[in-house]
Amino acid sequence: MSEMDQFEEFGNPIKEGRKIQKAGRQTVFTDMNAMVDLAFLLLTFFMLTTTMVKPKIMEVVMPVPKEEDRPADVQPIRESRAISILPLPDGKLYLYQGLSAETVAEVPYGEEGIRQKLQNLLPTIDEPVILIKPHPDSNFRNLVDILDEMNILGVSRYALDDFSEKDREILAEAGIEITEN
């Protein structure tokens, strides 16, 4: 890789039995090709790995502010377009159509539950909006499961909203008790 040419002009005096004469300036030659190759390999490796790592972000519409803080251009959702999903603390999931529900249905999580119910319900509604209203004591994993189902089904209009007193009243009318933690 690197070499020193000490006795190139005069030969090796020890082997030849001569007196050592002062040689001219000693030259040191270092081959930099390997270091340059390594630098380019590292540069291309890190450029390749940084382009492969893309942030994965899920866009979520958060609850609208209170009435006094709400901008004037926010339009209310028509009742015929709204589907509400309510994950509760006991691991149960309830779904109803409209803003004031006559029928509240308990739906299990997963492919046979919420996904199947939404696959049947979404084609019947023109431009549906899904309101996900998790109870404050509900499990965060259940909320993530619901958001995953929205992505799997390709639902483009869904929003997280607060679990309100109106939701409590709707569940109470349907005979559903909420167990608080």
Q: What is the pLDDT of residues 51-85, one digit of tens each?
A: 777 777 766 666 656 666 656 655 667 777 888 89
- What structural domains and CATH numbers belong to the chain? 2-52 (no CATH), 79-173 (3.30.420.270)
Quickly state the pLDDT bin for 15 (edges 50, 70, 90).
low
pTM of structure = 0.61
Helix (H, G, I), strand (E, B) or coil at 159: strand
| Alpha-carbon span 146 to 152, nearest angstrom | 10
Higher pLDDT residue, 111 or 77?
Answer: 111
Over residues 82-98, the pLDDT tens digits come to: 888 988 888 888 888 87
Average pLDDT over residues 153-170: 85
| b/e sequence 101-125, b meaning 16+ C-beta within 10 Å | beebeebebeeebbbebbeeeeeee
For residue 108, pLDDT over 90 is answered with no
| Residue 39 tokens, joined | 């630098």
16: pLDDT confidence band, cut at 50, 70 and 90?
A: low
Q: Looking at residue 62, what is its pLDDT? A: 64
64: left (phi over 0), alpha (psi -120 to 50) or beta: beta
Among 73-82, 135-144, 170-179, name the one with the lowest average pLDDT.
73-82
Strand partners, 85: 95, 132
Predicted pLDDT of residue 39 = 94
**In the predicted model, what is the mean pLDDT of the chain?**
78
Residues 6+ apart with CB under 8 A from 123: none
As a whole number of angstroms, the distance between CA 169 and CA 175 comes to 10
The pLDDT of residue 9: 54
Q: Between these two residues, 58 and 126, which has the higher pLDDT value?
A: 126
Average pLDDT over residues 20-35: 76
